[in-house]
Amino acid sequence: MTARGERLPVVLVGAGAVGAALGRAAVSAGWPLAAVVCRQAARARDRRALVGAGTPLSLTELLGSTPLPPEEARLLLLCVPDREIAPLAVRLAGRTWPPGSVALHVSGSVPVSALEPLAAAGLATGGLHPLHSFVDPERDAESLAGSVAALEGEAAALAVAREFAAVLRLQAFVLAPGTRALWHAAAAHACNHLVALVAQSLELLARAGLPEPQARAALLPLLRGTLENLAAHPPAAALTGPIARGDDAVVAGHLAALATAEPDISAAYRALAQRAFRLAVERGLADDRRLALAALLLPARPEARP
Ligand SMILES: NC(=O)c1ccc[n+]([C@@H]2O[C@H](COP(=O)([O-])OP(=O)(O)OC[C@H]3O[C@@H](n4cnc5c(N)ncnc54)[C@H](OP(=O)(O)O)[C@@H]3O)[C@@H](O)[C@H]2O)c1
Per residue in 50-107, pLDDT (tens digit) is 999 999 999 999 998 666 777 889 999 999 999 999 999 999 999 999 999 999 999 9
CATH class name, domain 10-178? alpha beta
Report the residue among 48, 63, 79, 84 best suited for mutation to probe ligand 1: largest number of ligand atoms under 8 A from its CB: 79
- What phi, psi does 36 have (nearest 5°)? -115, 115
- Residues with a CB atom less than 6 Å from ligand 1: 13-19, 38-39, 43, 59, 79-82, 84, 88, 106-108, 129-130, 132-134
User: Considering only CA atoms, which residue is closest to atom 8 of ligand 1?
Assistant: 107
Asked if 131 and 103 count as a contact pair (C-beta separation under 8 A), the reply is no
Question: What pTM value is reported for the model?
Answer: 0.87
Strands 33-38, 10-13: parallel, antiparallel or unpaired by DSSP? parallel
Asked if 68 and 35 count as a contact pair (C-beta separation under 8 A), the reply is yes
14 C-alpha to ligand 1 centroid (Å): 6
Give which of 85, 104, 105, 271 is closest to 189, Cα–Cα.
271
Query: CA quadruple 45, 51, 53, 58: dihedral positive or negative?
Result: negative
294 has a pLDDT exceeding 80: yes
Whole-angstrom distance, CA of residue 300 vs CA of residue 277: 15
In the chain, which residue ranges form alpha helices assigned H by DSSP?
17-28, 41-51, 59-63, 82-92, 116-120, 137-143, 155-167, 180-207, 214-232, 235-238, 242-245, 248-258, 263-283, 287-297
Per CATH, which fold does 182-304 belong to? Answer: N-(1-d-carboxylethyl)-l-norvaline Dehydrogenase; domain 2 (1.10.1040)
Whole-angstrom distance, CA of residue 22 vs CA of residue 24: 5
pLDDT tens-place string over residues 115-146: 999 999 999 999 999 999 899 999 999 999 99
Residue 222 CA, chain-centre distance (Å), reads 24
**Which residue type is seen at 165?**
A
Asked if omega into 213 is within 30° of 0 (cis), the reply is: yes
Helix (H, G, I), strand (E, B) or coil at 299: coil
Report the residue among 37, 39, 63, 80 best suited for mutation to probe ligand 1: largest number of ligand atoms under 8 A from its CB: 80
Half-sphere exposure of 36 (CA within 13 A, CB side): 27
Q: What is the mean pLDDT of the chain?
A: 94
Calculate what percentage of the chain has a pLDDT beyond 70: 96
Question: Which is the closest atom of ligand 1 to the Cα of 18?
Answer: 16
Question: Which is the closest atom of ligand 1 to the Cα of 131?
Answer: 6
Residues in the chain: 306
Domain ranges of the chain: 10-178, 182-304
